Structure 1
Amino acid sequence: MPRIQLDYSLYLVTGREFLPPGKDYYESLEESLQGGVTLVQVREKDADTGEFIEVARRTKQICDKYNVPVLINDRIDVHLAVGTAGIHIGQTDCPLPLARTLIGPDAIIGLSVRNTDECKRAIEQGADYIGIGSVWPTGSKDIKGRKCLGPDGTGEILDLLDGTGIQAVAIGGIHLPNLPQLLHGSISPKTSNALDGVAVISDIVASHQPRKASEALREIIDSFKRARKGLEGHKGLFGSTSSVSGGLSREYLVEKVQGLMRVLEQETPLINQLTNKVVMNDSANVTLAVGASPIMSTNPRDVYDLSPAIGACLINFGTVDDKEGMKVAGRQANVNRKPLVFDPVAVGATSYRRETAEELLAHWQPTIIKGNAAEIGAMAESTEVASRGVDAAGAGFKDPGAIVRALAKKRAAIIVLTGPEDYISDGHTVLKVSNGSHFLEKITGSGCQAGTLIACFAAASRSYYLNENEPFEDDSQLVQGDMLIAALAGILIYTIASEVAADRPDVKGPGTFRSALIDELYNLTPEVVQQRARVEIL
């Protein structure tokens, strides 16, 4: 029979050991198929042959109802007994050439690869697809002694597949919050190859609602694939064409920022801020000044319960002493589709901060990432700007617009680069803001406060979307609302207020400026924003 063409988009690897108490395996399987699983691999590490065959047989019966093919992990005899579409083997299982001889030319063979050398062998031996991993740490496989690939390592392997016709899925530690980061961040740097799908175990199998879990994963995968085909246009804030569709102007941008100012005043969203202790009081005050409501909760149990009620979440790891709370807060923000702003303070200064950032980003997907040149440089793995504690050292980037655009694409997030001039990108459009006062450099936590205001306006953007039910096709984010405009609003409001404060006759230096800044954030009007905004579309 001719070889079947598989859809690898959402590839479920079974694991009965991950089922929640009281959940039947076959019930969970059928619900996951209803939610959009496109391919199933039966993986039974501990079952004897008879039990494995029975599980595979019943699995195939259910999958046949939904026209979803089934593969068998490792066991050629089970595949032959049940008549599945093919097998998946690992590096220490039956050699691929021998497996091909045993199962014939028309069955599918997938091979796990962990590095470029294994990928090259898979190509030479004629694998139909490869499973790349482990991307991140996972509880389903022992990966001690091996470094996880991450999205970058996955992309390096994808480079080798160009022109081969071999498909690729990623596996290992993949869940809803980090899926956008993986899909965008793994696009190969040389050939722009992308993953054909992702293999998931616990995020579906361990769920009490596997149908909803599968639907959520498929939503992200499908929107990513639409974006890859050029279907990226979407309706933005207040029903106007968004940044990725073109047609932007300074007037348009300022109008939308003014609109968000009104929304923020009307809605007064609650903003949870896991921020550093140095700036906590000022961050709360600027939140109140622009019309939102602050809460500074860090306890894991507390942030879990709070998440449904908040408008947005800010995670600023300036003092990095509540990492567990940050993990839970970020994950729940993703689950509840709340904007998540990440401020990786001094991320390039120490190995601990770099490792902490990697760990957090493996747990959740930020909506917006804000940082100075050193921080954004570290995230982008650029050597142009060095870190000196929380500050940036050096002359800055030669092309800051290119840096933020590339990082936004890679991270599937809005990127905000702060400095004497601020740059904002969604991976397509780059905005440059030239407002601000030199006094901002002379007070502690000015960058942190900018992150606070970005979170406030992100909440306002989401609130507007929900209240007005605007049509919005979001190709990468877990959050609906125009987050490019939200980031611009946070930066513009903060920098314009700083200019107005600096012009006051009672401001004599950093101390008086600090108090005046909060006053002017409170007093700032849409009319002043219109007059003073210096925004360019690059």
Structure 2
Amino acid sequence: MIDYSLYLVTGRELLPPGKEYFESLEQSLQGGVSVVQIREKKTDTTKFLDIALKSKAICDRYGIPLIINDRVDIALAVEAAGVHVGQSDMPIAMARKLLPENAIIGVSCNNVQEIEQAKQDGADYVGIGAVWSTATKDLDKPVIGVRGVGKMLERLDGTSIKAVAIGGIKSRNLLRTLHGSVSPTNHSLDGVAVVSEIVASTHPRETAAKLRELIYAFRRGSSILKGLSVHSEYSVETVIDGVVDIFEAIRKHNPLVHQITNNVVVAQSANATIALGASPIMATTAQEMEDLGRVSGSLLVNIGTLVPTSYDGMMEAGTFANAQKKPIVFDPVGIGASEFRKNAVSQLLNTWQASVIKGNAAELATLAGSNEVQAKGVDSTGSGFKDPVSFVRNLSCRERCVVVLSGETDYISDGSSVAVLNNGHALLGRITGSGCIAGSCIASYCAAAAILAGSMEDKGKLVVGDIFLAAIGMILALTISAEVAAMREDVKGPGTFFPALIDELSSLSSPTIRERARVHIL
């Protein structure tokens, strides 16, 4: 049985100055590479055979299977474990006739049609990609993105065919690749194929070991979403208890919340963050995102005023937040207003993994590709979803994160449970940026939830559901504060409502949350 976990594809042209190919190959095996594919697209047969023979001898010393790209004759000559073919190479059926009975045959696939063909042809594994853009291979087919892999994996349900992701995979995006490349039926990757990250390294042993450890860490449950629910059973009582714990943790720990948000509501969002007990930092410059990723407790990305400089910052901030396992709250404000926004959101969500996606009915419908609800600018039109519970649950499963559907009634799902919240007041909808403020509050709660999850990990305890509970807690904090603010004698309308809302957020207490929360768990 081949271990496809860390699949090295060679490329001698990528070797750094002074690094010899066979030395690099052996060191990569010492670092944890589990299978090797020799790719020599521009090498004559004699040279290819020599490279393959010597590579096979090295792989044999470490018990690592060798696969040959394209050339069935070379694979036969060196007694390789198998071959990998592209869509324009020798058909699998013909290769199967020529190769020994136990030979492994893999095929490159870029879409579901090619997956179906691979199933019919009897492939042993498929290489799905390109997942990311790559400079190591001229691409004649589109980059499918992390979120496109799941649809292809679903077609492998019920088969013994293994799946390896390939194309631009590096240590900085490996966890994103593993976490996001899962089908709605929970079919996941069997491995990742890496080229330049290892071959171009001056220290391939250490590079391979780092990649291997990331893969093992992911399989042990250490994903990029610290504190994400793992589909536990919830009751109203356990939810309220968890919400209160997180609420109190915000006041205790005063987490730093990095926010790239709508320019219209920067001040309001910062004030709401402070009122809850967290500390805001509003920064958009790409060059400082690595530093902020280390020191902040969570990240909010809101595309309300999407400009090139902030977009670059969003791309970098999310990547570094994932690397540090910091929660990311994503608010696709007005995604349905333009193709530019739709494309930007697709790029962002294929680059990094969100912990929470929050939006109104029109925004989430657009993200899901549904025409049930239409957008008017940043607002929704129409009566809403016929089955909002199923909608949020399905979208959560697809996007692999908690989903918050905001509205008169709020629906929150972790892909299994759905919380239905009925607090709030109409005045919330009559002030600028109430939805954006909600994103800031969720990010504050997520930062505190991650702190709690970390403290429990340090004690060897299993922590589940924190991000789900954080999203619920934030909605309750904001909507309960809105109810209390609206009852004040000094509130005469939207103009006097917002200052009162900030006051009530600041003075909100755990007993008030317990007393006023109207929550149902489905």
Task: Normalising by structure 1, report the TM-score.
Answer: 0.86
Q: Distance in 1 between matches of 2:54 and 2:429?
A: 66
1:312 is matched with 298
Q: Distance in 1 between matches of 2:152 and 2:241?
A: 45
Change (3 A) 1:262 1:205: farther
Q: Distance in 1 between matches of 2:21 and 2:355?
A: 35
Query: Please, which of 96, 106, 127 is the counterpart of residue 100 of structure 1?
Result: 96
Deviation, structure 1 residue 374 = 1.0
1:228 is matched with none
Residues 1:262 and 2:248 are matched in the alignment? yes
1:168 is matched with 163
Change (3 A) 1:120 1:518: closer
Change (3 A) 1:103 1:525: same
1:453 is matched with 441
- The amino acid that maps onto 1:200 is V
Give matches, 1:148-187, under 5 Å.
148-150=143-145, 154-158=149-153, 160-174=155-169, 175-180=173-178, 182-184=180-182, 186-187=183-184
Q: State the SS of the aligned residue for 2:259.
A: strand
Deviation, structure 1 residue 199 = 2.9
1:83 is matched with 79
**RMSD of aligned Cα (Å):** 3.0
Change (3 A) 1:223 1:73: farther
2:511 is matched with 527
Q: Distance in 2 between matches of 1:499 and 1:273?
A: 26
Give matches, 1:86-485, under 5 Å.
86-144=82-140, 146-150=141-145, 154-158=149-153, 160-174=155-169, 175-180=173-178, 182-184=180-182, 186-187=183-184, 194-202=188-196, 205=199, 209-221=207-219, 223=221, 244-246=231-233, 248-321=234-307, 322-468=310-456, 469-471=458-460, 482-485=466-469
Deviation, structure 1 residue 249 = 2.3
- The amino acid that maps onto 1:500 is V
Contact 1:28 1:210 in 2 (8 A): no
Deviation, structure 1 residue 346 = 1.2
Contact 1:462 1:481 in 2 (8 A): no
Q: Distance in 2 between matches of 1:164 and 1:214?
A: 26
How many residues are treated as equivalent by the alignment?
511
Q: Write the deviation string for residues 283-307 of structure 1: whole angstroms up to 9, x where unpaired.
A: 1111111111111111111112221
- The amino acid that maps onto 1:513 is F
Where structure 1 has 5 or more consecutive residues not aligned to the other structure, the ranges are 226-234, 475-479
Task: Normalising by structure 2, report the TM-score.
Answer: 0.88
- The amino acid that maps onto 1:505 is E
Q: State the SS of the aligned residue for 2:411.
A: strand
Q: Distance in 1 between matches of 2:337 and 2:113?
A: 33
Q: Distance in 2 between matches of 1:23 and 1:340?
A: 39
Change (3 A) 1:376 1:76: same
Deviation, structure 1 residue 52 = 4.2
- The amino acid that maps onto 1:306 is L
Contact 2:5 2:192 in 1 (8 A): yes
Deviation, structure 1 residue 12 = 3.1
Q: State the SS of the aligned residue for 1:170.
A: strand
Where structure 2 has 5 or more consecutive residues not aligned to the other structure, the ranges are none
- The amino acid that maps onto 2:114 is E
Q: Distance in 2 between matches of 1:494 and 1:130?
A: 48
Contact 1:243 1:429 in 2 (8 A): no
Deviation, structure 1 residue 45 = 3.2
Q: Distance in 1 between matches of 2:282 and 2:21?
A: 41
Deviation, structure 1 residue 64 = 4.2
Q: Write the deviation string for residues 501-523 of structure 1: whole angstroms up to 9, x where unpaired.
A: 11111000001111111111111
Deviation, structure 1 residue 161 = 4.2
Contact 1:236 1:472 in 2 (8 A): no
**Percent of pairs identical after alignment?**
49
Deviation, structure 1 residue 153 = 5.2
Deviates more, 1:19-28 or 1:482-491: 19-28
Deviates more, 1:302-311 or 1:32-41: 32-41
Q: Distance in 1 between matches of 2:153 and 2:443?
A: 35
Query: Please, which of 62, 69, 76 is the counterpart of residue 65 of structure 2?
Result: 69
Deviation, structure 1 residue 428 = 1.2
